[in-house]
Chains A and B, each alone.
Chain A
Amino acid sequence: MTETNPIQQPKASSLVSPIGAGTDEWTIIIRPRSHWFDVSLAELWQYRDLIRLLVRRDFVAQYKQTILGPSWFLIQPLLTTLVFTVVFGRIANIPTDGIPDFLFYLSGTVCWGYFSTSLILNADTFVANAGVFGKVYFPRLVVPLSVVISGLFKFLIQFGLFLIFFLYFFLKGSSVGLSIWAIALPLLVLQMSLLGVGCGILVSSLTTKYQDLRHLVNFGVQLWMYFTPVVYPLSAVPESMRVVLSLNPMVAVVEGFRLGFVGVSALNGKYVVISWGVTLAILLIGLARFNSVEKTFTDTV
């Protein structure tokens, strides 16, 4: 998109009174283009109540529209894990680092679920909210933030489910055990959130220009999962391919989670650094694109 720059400086017009006559405390100044990267955290904070209400709306709407209501948050990962256990564990016989396969797949599914849902929902930000965005102004970043926060609640519920199964297998005497790395959980959750927002807003900014991407998102996320150790352990990947694979930031996240909560993983520090680097890069590019799109996208959609 080529943007027209302010070619001429505004010149004084007879209709405009001279600025400065005790008028220096303007609350809002509207100009053609913002700096490519200006996220006003103060402004987002002002709209914190909106974020809260949007998160609430997500839950309430979902709860009201379905018979099973919030239990879907549990049924979904359970069924997925069950299918994975049968298909990949029992039929394909993929190794699981000696961890009970059900717990192994559940750990992958819970992490992947949080990230992929954030991505898919955020990728729709502009298209799904075109109606509201076209009528009212609020910091557009409020929407992806609320999506990630409501996703976080779902993740915590699912994490609780994981802990229950963990406890079951632990008491049964299976080879599982917490490691010291479990304390890194907040960091892992933060990384998943940043990555979900980053990828989501990047895609959503591009979908305002390229419609095709919308169809690609769901499909792309499915493929992405196979490049993430969700249904197989990193240790099953040939050594030479691991560095390449670690460019996918979710590799270190899923394996980091397993390292903390089942105690086995082929993860090393290098992959974690690469993973954070890629995550932050995606987030920054996403924010920059989002910023440049949010001001004028209503003209094009």
Chain B
Amino acid sequence: MPLGTRKVLITEPMSTVISIENLWKEYRLGVLGYGTLRKDVQSWWARLRGKEDPNLPVDFQGLNRNGRTDRIWALRDVSLDVKDGEVLGIIGRNGSGKSTLLKIISRVTAPTRGVIRIRGRVASVLEVGTGFHPELTGRENVFLNSAILGMSISETRRKFDEVIDFSEVEKFIDTPVKRYSSGMYVRLAFAVAAHLNSEILLLDEVLAVGDRAFQEKCTQKMNQVKRAGRTILFVSHNMESIQNLCERAILLDRGRLKDISSDVGHLVRDYLGQDPS
């Protein structure tokens, strides 16, 4: 099969586009950094005099002078390689660290320990429509949103017709988005994200929005993106779309990488088995 051989030749050096090494992420609960100046001065003054910090949470007084005991590790020692052109599903219960992982890869927050190396541009669609300004028209928002996601004006201009076409809001493109219906809003936002020129696409629950027909369209678009050779990291609670779209999946459990498998169906069954919800 000459065709098959050729394909193998092209894809054989499956290079790593995301390399995650021993990633840890810690969040602080209880004692947030978001206090008031008065409290900080109070605590500092109390410590200076050797007294008990009046702002410590009661349960922790015996444990830690600084009240820093209530920390949680959202990610614990996660190591993972993502290959070029791969669609990787990420599943796990709420709070297992799925979104945290995507947030760190998209550089919204920094890891506590560990290193991630990435080849290519990353675009995250953690929540569609982020950065839309209600007073601006659909057209203006497409440009602004694309720029926020890292595209230049000329790149957006080239893709503009495609985006509008996909979003089906052509008629209202010069209307301020505050007058859009929520469906139109979401369609336009997803269209912008799906047409980004990034090599790596991060999707967090994006398919949870829109009506059935639009979800269908999104799935098609994702398949198209996949065929174009882009790498996708896909977080979803929808096991059906995970199984349909992903070639490989990882299962996170309380911050740990519990399992990683190319047999996505098996992984999903395993996950559903351990958690009957």
Contact = CB atoms under 8 A, between A and B. Distances in A.
Contacts of B103: 298
Given A16-B81, A61-B136, A137 B107 contact: yes
Interface of B: 15-16, 19-22, 26-28, 32-38, 40, 66, 68, 77, 79-81, 103-122, 124, 126-127, 130-131, 133, 135-136, 140, 143-144, 147-153, 176, 257, 260
A26 B199 CA distance: 13
Given A16-B79, A131-B130, A132-B148, A30 B108 contact: no
Interface residues on A, range: 35 or more
Nearest to B154: A49
Contacts of B40: 209-210
Nearest to B176: A64
Contacts of B107: 28, 30, 137
Contacts of B119: 23, 25-27
Contacts of A23: 15-16, 19, 117, 119
A29 B144 contact: no
Contacts of B68: 2
Given A17-B81, A300-B32, A49 B118 contact: no
A153 to B, nearest CB: 18
Interface stretch (A3-11, A76-84, A158-166, A252-260): A3-11
Contact of A16 (B19, B106, B109): B19
B205 to A, nearest CB: 12
Q: Which 3 A-B pairs have the closest CB atoms?
A: A137-B107, A300-B33, A50-B147
B248 to A, nearest CB: 12
A217 B13 CA distance: 56
A295 B109 contact: yes
B109 A52 contact: no
Given A16-B20, A28-B116, A31-B115, 20 more contacts: A4-B26, A10-B113, A15-B257, A17-B16, A17-B81, A26-B118, A29-B116, A31-B110, A54-B144, A57-B136, A132-B130, A133-B108, A135-B124, A135-B131, A136-B126, A209-B34, A210-B35, A210-B40, A299-B28, A300-B33
